[in-house]
Each structure stands twice: as C-alpha cells, then as structure tokens.
Amino acid sequence: MKIFEKAPAKINLSLDVLHKRPDGYHEVEMVMTMVDLADRIEMQEMARDTIIISSQAGYIPLDEKNLAFQAARLIKDRYDVKQGVYIHLDKRIPVAAGLAGGSSDAAATLRGLNRLWNLNISNEELQILGAELGSDVPFCVTGGTALATGRGEKLEPISAPPQCWVVLAKPPINVSTSEIYGKLNARGIKQHPSTAGVLSAIRDKQFDRLCDNLGNVLEGVTLDLYPEVRHLKECMQRLGADGVLMSGSGPTVFGLVSKEAKVARIYNGLRGFCKDVYAVRMLT
Ligand code: ATP
C-alpha cells in the first residue's frame, strides 16, 4: 500500500525568547501558523524491515540524519513494527530556511505511518513522540495556529489569523540557528515582541493590528549579520506588503498582504533579484 501526506511550512507571527534554561534549551513564546507551501511525502510499505528515503532535492541527507528517517525509526521502535517503508520526499519548502521543512516532514511521516500501519496513535501521543525529534515537530503534527511555549513543544491551539496572502522570500544564504541564538545570548534582549498583541489581534480578527504587532526577537541578530536579509525585508516593505517579518532564525522573510491586487507587484519585484519567492495563502 502507498499513501501520501502533505507537510506544510510554518511561519512565526511572533517569536520571543524568555530565557536560557539550565538544560541548554531556550524558553520561548511563539505564535505559529502554517502556509500553503508544502512538501509531499509518499510512503510505501515494504515487507523488508528497512527504511529507505529518497528525494529529488540533492542537498538534504537521505540517511539517518533525515528527520523523516528518524520519525520512521522512532515509530517502528516504539510500536514494534516489523515492516519497512520507502519514503519519497518531494521537497517544495526551501531547506534551512526558518520554515520548519524538516520538522514538518517528520510530523507528516509520523501521521502517515500511523495510518499506513493502522497504529491508532492519538495526536497527543504523536506530539510527544515528535518532541523527541525536534522542538517544532509537535506543532507540525497538528498544524493550525498555536501559541507554543516551553522549548516550543507546549501548544495551545488558537483561532486562525485573518485570511491573507503570504509572500515568502529566501535569500541564497545559510543561517545557522545555533549561531543566531548564541549571538542573541551574547548581546542580550533589549526589546521583546508583543506576543499578547499578536494573540489579541488574531482573536479580534484585526489584520492591521496583527501586522503592527508582528515581532521576532531573533530578527535583529540575523539582520545585523546578513545585510541581504535586511535588504529583502526593506524591499518587501517598499513594495507594499502590509506586515513583514523574518521567520524562525531566518533567512526567509515573509510579508502579509490583504489585497490580492498587490501580490503580483510584490512577487515580481522580489523575483527581480531573489530566486526563491512564493506567494501562497495562509492555511486556515
Ligand atoms: P527550523 O525552522 O525548524 O529551524 P529550518 O526550516 O530552518 O528549520 P530545515 O529545512 O528543517 O530547516 O533544515 C534544517 C537542516 O535539517 C538542514 O540542514 C538539513 O540538512 C536537515 N534535514 C534533515 N531532514 C530534513 C528534511 N526532511 N528536509 C529538510 N532538511 C532536513
């Protein structure tokens, strides 16, 4: 039997770091939602007890370093599954972009194998398994829109943000998440984004207020280190996006746009100098 799962990208509408914990993780407060830019994951049962990963994307690991591989191995071990699986990752989400592509692949693999092998694992249990793979995986298991706390694994579902277009652009650079967190620790946090402002704007379905309150405590660090990300953000603002923010530790910058008529101008303006640009809807 063969099944498919979609693995959508996440964006952070707010990302705050409260403090560094004794276990080395950062205590965070994030509002996350998903956009209609997704990897497609094909999972095919194999009688042989093995996990095989393939992908058209030549730049991701296809061995045990791949998060989908790790998800498959975790579920096989915990539920004593003897069958194997062939997993093909049709990558559409740019890699190492701040869009949780790998985490979403892992979450989709957990969901998919739960179906493929009739394991009847609850979403809560899949999220607990997912937390062993990465801090963003539990959110990706259920998606939607949520307030994430702890190291990102404690989730409180919230209502969907006002519907809008999301233009995403990723400059051709690699940003190391640990480097960004390291620099943030070194320089300290002068101003925290308003998580409460984002939550209340979403609750009241106030698009303009949401745009005004978007905030990411990692953004200043990445923008200072990588002028091309700052340039991209400024261009998106100049082209008329209503609210612009960097997602995760970057380097992807997204713009929220309420009027469809503006989307083509922003998309085309960015495509003039940036290859990885996407205009999608929020997944609500
Ligand atoms: P996050 O926003 O959660 O920090 P990201 O979007 O910045 O994640 P990913 O696309 O998940 O980053 O990739 C991060 C690293 O994980 C890459 O360097 C890649 O080699 C590795 N990786 C492992 N599995 C996958 C996968 N299935 N898809 C993409 N990258 C993967």
Note the pLDDT of residue 58.
80
Atom 3 of ligand 1 has which residue's CA nearest to it? 100
The ranges assigned to domains in the chain are 2-157, 165-281
pLDDT in tens, 76-100: 999 999 999 999 999 999 999 999 9
Top mutation candidate among 26, 95, 216 for ligand 1, by most atoms within 8 Å of CB: 95
Answer whether 60 contacts ligand 1 (Cβ < 6 A): yes
Query: Top-level CATH class of 2-157?
Result: alpha beta
Answer whether 108 contacts ligand 1 (Cβ < 6 A): no
Active-site amino acid positions: 10, 136
* Pick among 3.30.70.890, 3.40.190.10, 2.60.120.640, 3.40.50.720: CATH of 165-281: 3.30.70.890
Whole-number Å distance, alpha carbon 106 to ligand 1 midpoint, is 10
Atom of ligand 1 nearest to the CA of 136: 3
Please tell me the pTM assigned to this model: 0.96
Question: SS3 letters for the chain?
Answer: CEEEEEEEEEEEEEEEEEEECCCCCEEEEEEEEEEEEEEEEEEEEECCCCEEEEECCCCCCCCCCCHHHHHHHHHHHHCCCCCEEEEEEECCCCCCCCCCHHHHHHHHHHHHHHHHCCCCCCHHHHHHHHHCCCCCHHHHHHCCCEEEECCCCEEEECCCCCCCEEEEEECCCCCCHHHHHHHHHHHCCCCCCCHHHHHHHHHCCCHHHHHHHCEECCHHHHHHHCHHHHHHHHHHHHCCCCEEEECCCCCCEEEEECCHHHHHHHHHHHHCCCCEEEEEEECC
pLDDT in tens, 214-267: 999 999 999 999 999 999 999 999 999 999 999 999 999 999 999 999 999 999
ipTM rounded to 2 decimals: 0.94
